[in-house]
Chains A and B, each alone.
Chain A
Amino acid sequence: MSKRVAIVGIGYAGFRTTSSDISYREMIFEAATKCYEDAGGIHPHDIDSFVASSEDFMEGISIADEYVPDQLGAVLKPVQSIAGDSLQGLASAVMQIKTGKLNVVATSAFSKVSNLSHYENVEAYATDPVYVRPFQEHPAYLAGLEMNRYLYESGTTREQCAAVVVKNKYNALDNPRAAYGAKISIDDILGAPDLSSPLGIHDASGHLDGAVVLLLATEEKALRMTDKPIWIKGIGWGTDTPNLDSRLEGFGAAIYARLAAKQAYAMAGITAPYSELDIAEVDDTFSYKQLQHLEALNICGPGEAGKLLELGCFDAAGDLPVNISGGSLGVGYLHEANGLHRVLETALQLRGEAGKKQLPDVETGLAFAWRGIPTATGTAVILGRRP
């Protein structure tokens, strides 16, 4: 590692299922203002570079990059957009600092999905235009197919997937940012209609509006700006082929998560994630995805995640608390802002600022985000209270 990088400012806004009273740019402004305040009141003039993460079709604007600078205070500054999950945006910010040329970099992402009347129509535009889109099916069927394959390959049960929903929605009850917290039973979940069998309607996370802005800095700057820096110890990202039928190990394997974790663990010097991590915020866009990702992230072996979950290993009092915030199932699904949301929840735990959700002795955490169907891209980041 050529240079240590720390998160020195955290700001967020929104986290509501609908927000008709505020534009996305106003929401980002609020998050950015809070972030800069949190970083000791830095003026945006003193920020060297800005990275946003967004996708045009979600915003109804071609070249959404145009509308990034103003609300971040980034006019006439180095600004770029990453068309990817915001954890990739975070990775870009980390790389910029590690070049040694930029010292303080802000990264932002948002979701204003309540502006969309039919999200699934946008999602359908992400599928292959020749081989997949002509089926004109609700894209959730791809998750149903993958879930079926994952259950078959790993021996995980439908009930174990439902237990993920129970846990995450329960965890969300005490999180002020969560919109989908609930006390729900496995029977409720199994008895609900299917979205695409075996995937039930409660196995899919609900959409949420929100914005997150994080400020990153070099070690030298970080120690001057805050007394509670959160260190980015490792980061990695990976992509599998978009062709559903030619993914190397078939539909049930999340190769992207394995690649991302391998790179992040190597950088952070982690060899035994299950025992070395104190907390993990892992993608749970769909219930089975949480288990599939825990296995691909090498937190447990193939087919073990469901069993460990049932044993309570991933509960607040377990060996490795997973999605104590409530995750996407409990808090809500923030689209390209998902990654920064996972970092937000992990970083608040590491700072000891997670309120009622605060766990004792959190030193090292993992945040992992996936970009949703039909993509095969994931990013993992290791955060620590000490460098």
Chain B
Amino acid sequence: MKMRKVAIVGAGLTKFVRRALETPKELSYEATKTALDSCGLRLEDIDCVAHGTAPDAFDGIHQNGEYMVDGCGGWNKPTMRVYVGGATGVHAIVHGWHHVASGMFDTCLVVCEEKMSSAMPHAQGFFLTIFDAITERALHPNLLWIFALEMNRYMNRYGYTKEDMALAAVNNKMNGLKHPASQFRDEVTVEDVLNSEIMAYPVSRLDVSPVSDGAAAVVLAAEPVARRITDKPVWIEGVGWTLDTAYWATRDLYYPRYLDTAARMAYDMAGIREPAKQINIAEPYDPFDYKALHHMEGLQLSPRGKTVELLRDGHFARDGNLPMCPSGGLLGVGNPIAAAGTMKVCELFWQLRGEADERQVPGNPRLGVAQAWGDLMQVSSVVVVGI
């Protein structure tokens, strides 16, 4: 059956900040309004709302999707919240694509929000309750702890050093300095990363993205409607998503097989046979520096174990063959969890339209991929967009 073509026609972001004065609803409102204004639409023109936030615990609200409805313009409309942990931000686009590609709606507003600063003393505390209540929680693991295991395994498998990983952090953080929504202002060097405080070896503080507040939104439209709204629609060419087993300790962590499956699903849909050659921009999910590289391999954009070499050769720089995280990613812009994934899709939207200002990737990029990752190191969502 022929698929209904769906385009992104507008995008909006709030600034990503450490402590926003705005409430979660107000952050959502700002991103929603900016996205609608960017394509000259009003809420009345929107048929449905697909939104996402990560754990309810951050806002401290049960059935948080209901509470957020005002801010994201979902009242008196069909509104549905989707949820796949950290992968929610990109997955919400997939969720929105379901709405429009199904033929049930012509326009869909996708909104993601996260306000992590309300968590006291630290947002990481909320992640203590994501673990299996019987087999894991008794060990008091936290996210840094399990990602340290994964980082260690990845480095060990290919003989990578902490300096190799720090290069990815510097690539993304330096890109992020040019992003108007970024919460950072300072340049970062490899030495800075290596000298930063160890959180859980081998993870140091600057290997990790920050705690952030923010929201992001995009507007989706079906083909004929999209062409009426804008001369420069950015088409959703392929989507993919996969969840692996909850028993993360039974998996070999050096390779993200969940992403392998999700990426292949998206590329198949987009008719992409050689992603490393065909994709012009990659926005892999980078809450940790090693994850950016790990995910480039899972996305089939870099041969396993060769990613650091390519990084050192400038292959992934803004002016390289395959720019990685030209937005700055989570390391460079900030990590309001669900909103961070959507921010990556916003970046591709602006890059492919040639509207990324100082961040613009040279050479008229035509095809980009964004990815997010979450849960117990087990889920990935992938969106391929093109012009």
Q: Measuring CB to CB, which residues of chain A are less than 8 angstroms from any residue of chain B?
A: 1-3, 55-58, 60-63, 65-70, 74-84, 88, 91-92, 94-101, 122-123, 125-126, 128-129, 236-243, 248, 255, 259-260, 263, 267, 371, 374-377
A67 touches B66 (CB 8 A): no
- Indicate if the CB atoms of A241 and B1 lie closer than 8 Å: no
18 A–B contacts, CB within 8 A, in A order:
A57-B63, A66-B85, A67-B132, A70-B247, A77-B242, A77-B243, A79-B243, A79-B379, A84-B65, A88-B80, A95-B101, A96-B98, A98-B102, A101-B3, A122-B62, A125-B61, A238-B78, A259-B76
Contacts of B244 in A (CB 8 A): 69, 75-76
CA distance A79 to B91 in the complex (A): 11
A-chain residues with CB within 8 Å of residue B54 when the two chains form the complex: 63
Residues of A within 8 A of B269 (CB): 101
Instruction: Evaluate contact between B245 and A69: CB separation under 8 angstroms.
Output: yes
Q: How far is the CA of A238 from the CA of B376 in the complex (A)?
A: 32
Whether A239 contacts B75 by the Cβ 8 Å rule is: yes
Q: Which of B257-265, B341-349, B363-371 contacts A (4 or more CB under 8 A)?
A: B257-265
Distance A95 CA – B220 CA, assembled complex (angstroms): 15
A3 with B1: CB separation less than 8 A: yes
What separation, in Å, do the CA atoms of A254 and B112 have in the docked complex? 27
Closest to A79 in B: B243
CB distance from B96 to the nearest CB of A (A): 10
List the B side residues contacting A377 at CB < 8 Å: 66, 79
Q: Mark B72-104, 1 if CB is under 8 A from A, else 0.
A: 001111111111110000010011011101111
Known: A2-B1, A101-B3, A123-B62. A79 touches B242 (CB 8 A): yes
For the complex, is B133 an interface residue (Cβ under 8 Å from A)? yes
Please tell me the number of chain B residues within 8 Å of chain A, measured between CB atoms.
65
Asked if B1 and A80 make an inter-chain contact with CB atoms under 8 angstroms apart, the answer reads: no
How long is the Cα–Cα vector from A280 to B126 in the complex, in angstroms? 42
B3 and A100 form a contact (CB under 8 A): yes
B residues less than 8 Å from A126 (CB atoms): 61-63, 66-67
Residues of A within 8 A of B130 (CB): 61-63, 66
Q: Which of A3, A63, A84 contacts B81 (CB 8 A)?
A: A84
Does any Cβ of A come within 8 Å of B26's Cβ?
Answer: no
- State the Cβ distance, B23 to closest chain A Cβ, in Å: 9
CB neighbours (8 Å) of B79 from chain A are 237-239, 377
Report Cα–Cα, A239/B127, bound state, in Å.
30
> In the complex, how many angstroms separate the beta carbon of B349 from the nearest chain A beta carbon?
21
Identify which of residues 293-309 in chain B touch chain A, using a CB-to-CB cut-off of 8 Å. Answer: none
Tell me, in angstroms, the Cα distance from A69 to B250 when the chains sit together.
15
Q: Which residues of A contact B379 (CB under 8 A)?
A: 65, 79
Complex Cα distance, B378 from A80, in Å, reads: 12
Could you tell me if A375 and B76 are in contact, using CB atoms closer than 8 angstroms?
Answer: no
Other-chain residue from A62, A248, A259 in contact with B126 (beta carbon distance below 8 A): A62
Q: In this complex, what residue of B is CB-closest to A248?
A: B76
CB A246 to nearest CB in B, in angstroms, measures 8
> How many whole Å from B224's CB to the nearest CB in chain A?
15
Q: Nearest 9 CB-CB pairs, A to B?
A: A98-B102, A100-B1, A79-B243, A125-B62, A95-B102, A126-B62, A99-B101, A62-B55, A2-B103
CB-based contact B55/A56 at 8 Å: yes
Contact in complex: B63, A83 (CB < 8 Å): yes
Scoring B3, B85, B98, B103 by chain A CB atoms within 10 A of each residue's CB, the highest score goes to B98
Contact yes or no, A239 B243, CB < 8 A: no
Contact A241 B61 (CB under 8 A): no
How distant is A32 from chain B, measured CB to nearest CB, in Å? Answer: 15
Task: Chain B residues near A371: list those with CB within 8 A.
Answer: 63, 66
Residue numbers in A under 8 Å from B133 (CB-CB): 60-61
**Known pairs A62-B130, A78-B243. 11 more at Cβ < 8 A?**
A2-B102, A61-B129, A62-B56, A62-B126, A63-B375, A80-B82, A83-B65, A98-B104, A237-B78, A374-B66, A375-B63
Question: Given A92-B95, A98-B102, does the pair A242, B66 have CB atoms closer than 8 Å?
Answer: yes
In the complex, chain B residues whose CB is within 8 Å of the CB of A238: 76-79
- In the complex, A95→B98 CA distance in Å? 6
Q: Are B67 and A75 in contact (CB under 8 A)?
A: no
A81 touches B84 (CB 8 A): yes
| Closest partner residue, chain B, to A2 (CB atom) | B103
Q: Which residues of B contact A69 (CB under 8 A)?
A: 243-246, 378
CB-based contact A240/B76 at 8 Å = yes
Q: Smallest CB–CB gap between B350 and chain A, Å? A: 26
Given A80-B83, A81-B82, A240-B76; A129-B60 close (CB under 8 Å): yes
Task: Give bound CA distance, A237 to B76, whole Å.
Answer: 10
Considering the complex, which residues of chain B in the window 28-80 have a beta carbon less than 8 Å from any beta carbon of chain A? 54-57, 60-67, 69-70, 74-80
Give the complex CA separation of A194 and B269 in angstroms. 57
Given contacts A62-B55, A241-B69, contact A83 B242 (CB under 8 A): no
Which of B4, B60, B61, B258 has the most C-beta atoms of chain A within 10 angstroms of its own C-beta?
B61
Interchain CB contact (< 8 A) of A259 among B69, B78, B102, B378: B78
Whole-angstrom distance from the CB of A260 to the nearest CB of chain B? 8
Given the complex, which residues of A lie within 8 Å of B84, measured CB to CB?
65, 79-81
Assembly CA distance A129 to B63 (angstroms): 12
Determine whether B374 belongs to the interface, using a CB cutoff of 8 Å to chain A.
yes
A129 adjacent to B77 (CB under 8 Å) = no
Q: Specify which chain B residues have a CB less than 8 angstroms from the CB of A241 in the assembled complex.
A: 69-70, 75-76
Instruction: Tell whether A78 pairs with B81 under 8 Å between CB atoms, given A56-B57, A66-B375, A375-B63.
Output: no
